[in-house]
Chains A and B, each alone.
Chain A
Amino acid sequence: MEQPRHLRILRDIAAVFVTFMFMFPILWWALTSIKPISAVFDKDRVVFFDFVPTLINYAVTLLGLSRSGIAIDQGIGMGVGGAEAYDSRRAILDSVVVSIGATAATMAVAIFAAYALSRMAFRGRAGYLNWVLGQRFMPPIAILIPLVTIYKDAGLRDSDSLYGGYFGLMMIYALMNLPIALLLMKSFFDDVPKDVDEAAMIDGATRWQSFSKVVLPMVRGGVAASAVLVFIFSWTEFLLSLFLTTSIRTVPVKIQTFVTSTGNEWGFIAALGTAAAIPSFIFILLVQRHLVRGLTLGSLKE
């Protein structure tokens, strides 16, 4: 059905306008990250582009430049926080380690289970799938409070146990992401006809060989898409990381510490926030094709 020309143009304008509305907060955020303090806090007018851009916020948060030195340079006087308070390199490292570890753990566990649930008929299969799905329905707060105690007793929470902190967060992220990874992988395995395994096994392959040599390579794309989604969800998680560890600070938690009693350090907040969003942006654009399938736990395909 061909639309008349003027309607088409009208629609183009509306589409661009709506998309721009959704991009605006991101653009504003990026803009804030390169503004000097005076432009962020201008009470008389909204500063759009008439400011001298600065990378100082990135230098402090990502490179660990001293904050008080800058404050003196800008003539504000001594900075409030200590030099390390805004240095986010440790938090970024913590986030990277936890997210990669959680993704690896989730995928390792999910792939095997997904293969069995896709390929084998056994009693309790439907029940097992419901158990997995039930994990997705469960509000994290329901297990969070006992987990704090459990983690404390196991030495996974407190500040003297760095590796314990990593391990504890990785495992709980693996649990939270298990349903999406497992159900998504199952849907990718389901796309591969069962004849493929059967043919391999008639040719003398064991179940393991048929899985590892034949079927798994066929769902590589699915593994990558699931891993990317798990990574993003781990990277952006806030509640669990806030409660469950004191030894490490992931980026979403670290950024909250920039809210101080004397005022919020918006420049630093915006710089770290922008930097934290960039890896996710790249990843999400890489898996566009499988995004809907992933977000609906494999039940809708594009």
Chain B
Amino acid sequence: MVSEHPFPWLLPASALMVIFGLYPLLYAIWLSLQRKHPVTRKLSFAPSYNWSKLLGDERVWNAMGNTLVYTSVALVLQLVLGMLIALLLDSDRKGYGLLRAMMTLPLVIPPAVTAMMFLLMLNGSFGVLARGIIATGLLPPGFSILGTASTAMAGVLLAEVWQWTPFMVLIMLAGLRSLPKEPFEAAAIDGATATQVFFKLTLPMMSKVIAIAVLIRGIDLFRAFDYVKVMTDSGPGTATETLTSYAGRIYFGNADFPYASTIALLTLIIVIFVSFVFMKVFKVKL
């Protein structure tokens, strides 16, 4: 007999979280307080070394800026497009169910494969998307979108927005479908325009759903890695380097675990802090 006590029920999950989650996290904190000697490769305790290095490292600030741009641009585009497409597809008429099901397909392609897909389509000489843009005259022939510092981020964002807008569409559709009918009928009787209905009724009533979607998407966007790694490898130069990819580059490049850990922890601190504030301000409860 298993007792009424929750302990045995929680034991496996707790063991997993302690061994593979908590222990490495504490290890990361310990690492961030060590200094790796560049020649002897020995670690020595130097609690402020990495953290002060971090504050003075321009590449950290560049990566932070890129991560913020990436997160906010993708979030706004996905939210707006997601809402518009959800409104468009929210119909009970024949065929719309199929369109909604098709809309979910991009979500399950491995992001590393999606990145390859866009790498091919954005290739300046034979990529179908790049050629389409070049044909409109906006870009010169043979232009490399991902190889040019000023446009690389936009190229990476294209893949990101394509893959994850359907996430927003799905959640907004669920939100739209759970709205009560009465206020909308009343508004129709009062002769409200579609725009008024959307801004005065739909949007406020969807605020909880939107907040949850923004929170979940936001924390995933902030860890951006896959598209950047595959499509531009953080380049050209550091034009698309995010916090996660910078930490990865340091790790693989100079094997400076302590400093890479410190940057990774910075990412963690920002995510926890921002999502905590967000949840308090918008009263979101997951």
Contacts and interface: CB of A to CB of B under 8 A. Distances in A.
A26 B116 CA distance: 12
B24 A269 contact: no
A299 B109 CA distance: 24
Given A128-B10, A238-B112, A284 B102 contact: no
A52 interface: no
B126 A146 contact: no
B21 A175 contact: yes
Interface in B253-286: 257, 260-261, 264-265, 267-268, 271-272, 275, 285-286
A206 B4 CA distance: 9
Contacts of A133: 286
Interface stretch (A54-62, A78-86, A214-222, A250-258): A250-258
A88 to B, nearest CB: 12
Given A40-B126, A42-B126, A146-B261, A25 B10 contact: no
Interface string B45-69: 0000000000000000000000000
A255 B28 contact: no
A276 B109 CA distance: 8
B117 A29 contact: yes
Nearest to A235: B110
A113 B10 contact: yes
B281 to A, nearest CB: 16
A288 to B, nearest CB: 6
Contacts of A243: 248, 251
A245 to B, nearest CB: 14
Interface in B118-132: 118-121, 125-126, 128, 131
Given A18-B85, A175-B17, A238 B271 contact: no
Contact of B10 (A14, A112, A238): A112
Interface stretch (B72-80, B147-155, B217-225): B217-225
Nearest to B172: A292
B88 interface: yes
Contact of B216 (A42, A281, A296): A296
Nearest to B10: A113
Interface in A258-301: 264, 266, 269-270, 273, 276-277, 280-281, 283-285, 288, 291-292, 295-297, 299-301
Interface in A73-104: none
Contacts of B12: 108-109, 112-113
Interface in A34-81: 40-43, 46
B117 A284 contact: no
B27 A43 contact: no
A204 B11 CA distance: 26
B247 interface: yes
Given A146-B27, A239-B226, A292-B170, A115 B9 contact: yes
B139 interface: no
Interface string B235-247: 0000000011001
Given A138-B268, A296-B216, A43 B126 contact: yes
Contacts of A194: none
Contact of A295 (B3, B103, B120, B171): B171
A113 B9 contact: yes
Contact of B117 (A25, A116, A120, A232): A25
Interface in A193-230: 206-208
B186 interface: no
Given A19-B99, A206-B1, A251-B110, A256 B285 contact: no
Nearest to B30: A146
A145 B257 contact: yes
Contact of B110 (A14, A276, A291): A276
B99 A281 contact: no
B108 A142 contact: no
Contacts of B91: 11, 15
Interface string A157-190: 0000000000000011011001000110000000
B126 A120 contact: no
Given A139-B244, A295-B167, A145 B28 contact: yes
A273 B1 CA distance: 49
Closest 4 CB pairs of A and B: A116-B9, A280-B108, A146-B27, A113-B13
6 contacts: A15-B96, A26-B109, A146-B31, A238-B110, A252-B113, A292-B171
Given A113-B12, A183-B286, 18 more contacts: A15-B89, A25-B121, A113-B9, A137-B272, A139-B268, A145-B31, A150-B27, A206-B2, A238-B110, A239-B226, A239-B244, A239-B248, A256-B116, A269-B120, A281-B105, A291-B170, A296-B171, A300-B209
